[in-house]
A and B are shown apart, each in its own frame.
Chain A
Amino acid sequence: MDAQTFQQEAMKLERLLYHICYGMLHNQSDCEDAIQEALLRAWKNRHQLRDMEHFRSWLCRITANACQDVLRKRQHEGVYDDAMADNQPASIDLEQMVLRDALSTLSPEVRVCMTLYYLDGIPVREVAQTLEIPEGTVKTRLMKGREKMSKLLREVEA
């Protein structure tokens, strides 16, 4: 795969990759670090990809792993705190703030499952392959996320 093909294929996935990064990291600056790391890692290991048909799940998996590394680093440095989420828009309305708070309470693992499944329409099976977890775990996380979001938003709206 030449650089141009790699870049073209990766750009088609830009939105999806952003969803993985933001779903897991909830922090714009970390997202930027993670995607750079992931793309360079993928490029370096491109010869491992034997079938272009699997480019999407392959790159998504590398991106998810890069995000995991950022999370581990955060934990190691003792700065793991979703609520800190820096680089957020300067002005957001009340509803967005509430929503952001609600999503912040979800674990990164749950949030990324929610994002891939609901926002990107990725089937459970593929989410499981991308994140290298069992399908049942994806379903459990989706259920947990759905319930928690509903509960938090209900509380706020009440």
Chain B
Amino acid sequence: MTDKQIKEKLQQEMGAVPAGFHRAMQSAFAQMVDEDATDEVSVVVESADVHNAPPRHQRHTPYMSGGRARRTVVLVAVLMLLLSSFAVAATVRPELLQIFWGREFQLDKRLETYRKTQVVTQRIGDYRVSVEEAIYDGVSLYVQYSIRDMTSDKLLGEYNDTSDRRYLTDEDMDAIDAWLVGNWTDVIWLNGHETDMPGMSGGEMWAGDEQGEVIFSEMYRLDQEGISLSGEVRIALPIGQKQQQTREFIQEHRLEDGTRPEPDAGMIVFSLNADAPVTHYEQGLITTLPDGSRVWLQQADDTLMKCYITLGYEISDQQKADYIAAYGEGMQMEDGSILPWPDAEMLGTWPYNMTLVDKQGNVLCQELSYAEGLWGIGNGEIHYVFPHIEGQWEEMYIVPMSRDGLVDMEWAIPLG
């Protein structure tokens, strides 16, 4: 099992942060007392008895009531009123790409041509399914869709004033599971070919502004499955009427290459222009770093959205020897055997804070945005995501940066 597979398995198990956990954090915040605050109408409700109260408190209750000074009760009442008025007002519907790349993310205007909105809407029984947005940047496919139970007369989720979104409750999740329409299998079909959700992909779901509506945002790192799309691509999402496919049924209907054919039912289908410009680079010069490891650009895909970089590496015999001298030959197993240390284990800490520089060592992106930087270390490869930078690729380097923002070009790995 490779490190990449372990990461994927852990990602699969952990999933996104559950709404309950998010609410628990918000609830804790609401109990914090800010003695230094000068603005009385603060996000934080303050009260001396809250400050001295035991930290453990009832979950999912942003504001406590009872046993308070009158001023605090009034403040709570006003805030509750404000919150409830927000709860019926429209929330912010973040743009698809801001879900993955942060609120500040701005799409390069040249990619607008490849971004499709109001893609397709279908009414299936009592449900409305809408693919609202889709874009492929040359590496990753992003899709946002909503499903609405048209018979519902209530908004799903609970309003969260930090994100200005409604997060789904456990009860909502149970209800959505019971819907007759929605995601019924964990793969999608691209040009009729089954595609599993690749490693380093992800998604989020939250409640929409219409009664019974839930919104999904998903990102597929297709490069991780070796997929590169071009032209007009047929995309089929299994988010229509839920289908019951047993394990036996799936086995029986597999194609010769082991994949499943695109199902006839339960699918929402649309097409997308996948010709967004992307520049592919591979196999850069091998550099020997001061610690003895040999590192090179394995491949990079520079899109107008992000620059995805994978480095290859080998550690030296001396590094291995030093590591073994410090930590032993490997992991001692219960049966007495020794499992050798994987290379990733013996690699130093330099891959954790890399930045892009020019040949003079000038940092090309002063501050990395949300979700940029290191994405994972496997045996023999390291994955990064950086912003797209207009510049001479041949004169660019990737180099470790200290906490003080300094780079040492002795550690620079050429990208060209």
- Contacting residue for A139 out of B55, B173, B327, CB 8 A: B327
- Contacting residue for B25 out of A35, A94, A150, CB 8 A: A35
**Interface assignment of B6: CB less than 8 Å from any CB of chain A:** yes
A118 engages B339 (CB within 8 Å): no
Question: Contacts A28-B21, A115-B10: A3 and B55 contacting too (C-beta < 8 A)?
Answer: no
- Contacting residue for B352 out of A6, A14, A103, A123, CB 8 A: A123
Question: Contacts A35-B25, A41-B55, A147-B339: A3 and B9 contacting too (C-beta < 8 A)?
Answer: no
B29 engages A3 (CB within 8 Å): yes
A37 engages B327 (CB within 8 Å): no
A87 engages B327 (CB within 8 Å): no
A19 engages B333 (CB within 8 Å): no
A39 engages B327 (CB within 8 Å): no
Question: Contacts A143-B339, A147-B339: A123 and B56 contacting too (C-beta < 8 A)?
Answer: no
**Interface assignment of A7: CB less than 8 Å from any CB of chain B:** yes
Complex: A149 Cα to B6 Cα, angstroms: 8
Residue of chain A at shortest CB distance from B6: A118
**Interface assignment of A140: CB less than 8 Å from any CB of chain B:** yes
CB of B150, distance to nearest CB on chain A (Å):
22
B406 — which chain A residues lie within 8 A by C-beta? none
- The winner among A3, A31, A37, A139 for most chain B CB atoms within 10 A is A3
B21 — which chain A residues lie within 8 A by C-beta? 14, 18, 21, 28, 31-32, 35
- Contacting residue for B349 out of A100, A125, A147, CB 8 A: A125
Q: What is the 8 Å Cβ interface bit string for chain A, positions 106-144, against chain B (1 contact, 0 not)?
A: 000000001100110101010000000000100110111
**Interface assignment of B322: CB less than 8 Å from any CB of chain A:** no
CB of A28, distance to nearest CB on chain B (Å):
6
**Interface assignment of B403: CB less than 8 Å from any CB of chain A:** yes
Complex: A80 Cα to B352 Cα, angstroms: 36
Complex: A150 Cα to B331 Cα, angstroms: 14
Question: Contacts A11-B162, A89-B177, A118-B10: A144 and B32 contacting too (C-beta < 8 A)?
Answer: no
A93 engages B186 (CB within 8 Å): yes
- Contacting residue for A121 out of B1, B177, B376, CB 8 A: B376
Total contacts A to B, CB within 8 angstroms?
Answer: 146
- Contacting residue for B174 out of A18, A90, A140, A142, CB 8 A: A90
Chain A interface size range: 35 or more
B34 engages A99 (CB within 8 Å): no
B252 — which chain A residues lie within 8 A by C-beta? none
B11 — which chain A residues lie within 8 A by C-beta? 119
CB of A62, distance to nearest CB on chain B (Å):
11
CB proximity to A under 8 Å, residues B325-382: 327, 330-331, 333, 339, 341, 345, 349, 352, 374-377
A114 engages B162 (CB within 8 Å): no
Complex: A137 Cα to B247 Cα, angstroms: 41
CB proximity to B under 8 Å, residues A13-40: 14-15, 17-19, 21-22, 28-29, 31-33, 35-37, 39-40
- Contacting residue for A35 out of B28, B43, B162, B331, CB 8 A: B28
B28 engages A2 (CB within 8 Å): no
**Interface assignment of B117: CB less than 8 Å from any CB of chain A:** no
B331 engages A144 (CB within 8 Å): yes
B32 engages A43 (CB within 8 Å): yes
**Interface assignment of B17: CB less than 8 Å from any CB of chain A:** yes
A147 — which chain B residues lie within 8 A by C-beta? 331, 333, 339
**Interface assignment of A77: CB less than 8 Å from any CB of chain B:** no
A35 engages B24 (CB within 8 Å): yes
A11 — which chain B residues lie within 8 A by C-beta? 25, 162
**Interface assignment of B12: CB less than 8 Å from any CB of chain A:** yes
CB of B229, distance to nearest CB on chain A (Å):
26
User: Would you mind naming 8 contact pairs between A and B with Cβ atoms under 8 Å apart?
Assistant: A3-B32, A18-B21, A36-B55, A36-B56, A99-B13, A115-B14, A136-B327, A154-B1
List 7 A-B pairs, minimum CB-CB distance, nearest first.
A143-B331, A40-B55, A3-B34, A150-B1, A32-B24, A39-B28, A3-B44
Q: A2-B36, A39-B29, A144-B331 are in contact. List 16 more A-B contacts (CB 8 A).
A: A3-B43, A14-B22, A17-B25, A21-B21, A22-B14, A28-B18, A29-B20, A35-B25, A87-B170, A90-B174, A96-B13, A118-B10, A118-B376, A119-B11, A142-B345, A153-B1
| Interface residues of A, Cβ cutoff 8 Å to B | 2-4, 6-7, 10-11, 14-15, 17-19, 21-22, 28-29, 31-33, 35-37, 39-41, 43-44, 53, 87, 89-91, 93-96, 99-100, 103, 114-115, 118-119, 121, 123, 125, 136, 139-140, 142-144, 146-147, 149-150, 153-154
